[in-house]
Amino acid sequence: MVTFSNEVSIGNLITLGVVVIGGVRAWTSLHTRAALNVSKIDSITKRLDEADLERLKVCVETMWLFQLRRGLAEVETKKLGTSNSPVILTKKANDLMQPLLPELKQFYNMIHGEELGLVELAIELERQFGNRLVSEVCKKVGVSDAACLVLAIGQLRPIGPDTLREALEQCEDANDLKQKSKSLL
């Protein structure tokens, strides 16, 4: 027959202490690991979201470059410039842009346009001067396919087939890097 006693021995206390400490350490370890896993999942989710946004950005930049390339062709077709690299604007084109030129240059300096990529500059010019370019330039000479933006950019810095090709290559390189980093996930 087994008998139980109410006496507590040192061995029983040590065993109880070891079990409690082991349980606390196990719970702490699991809690820390769970928090770390949640953090990693959030980081991976954020990277995937950013990669998708980068892919979208590349698509948008490619469409802008498409429009600017059509604009270059239109500038030449309407005899507002020659398609050298960079485009050489005619006197007629420069005269059309003359009323806007001081504001264009001031805006270009204010946004540090020399530091912007070609597409970023085109977007900023469109935001700031789009309506005026249409009414004061495009309608006067009958152009529409981004030729007005090409004329505006051409007043501020060189633009031509080579600069468009370089911008496209930078866009493609950025997309390649994003795809590689996404595949590492």
DSSP state at residue 134 = I
Contact of 75 with 92, CB cutoff 8 Å: no
89 closest CA partner among 110, 75, 68: 75
Compute the distance between CA of residue 151 and CA of residue 171 in angstroms, rounded to an integer.
22
Q: What is the pLDDT of residue 177?
A: 54
Distance separating alpha carbons of residues 159 and 87, to the nearest angstrom: 6
Q: What is the structure's pLDDT at 173?
A: 65
Between residues 101 and 175, the one the model is more confident about: 101
**Per-residue model confidence (pLDDT) at position 99:** 94
Q: Between 48 and 129, where is the model more confident?
A: 129
Looking at residue 86, what is its pLDDT? 82
Report yes or no: 61 and 170 within 8 Å, Cβ to Cβ: no
Average predicted confidence (pLDDT) for the chain: 83
What integer is the mean pLDDT of 106-124? 93
Strands 88-89 and 81-82: antiparallel
Q: What is the pTM of this model?
A: 0.63
**pLDDT band for position 115 (cuts 50, 70, 90):** very high
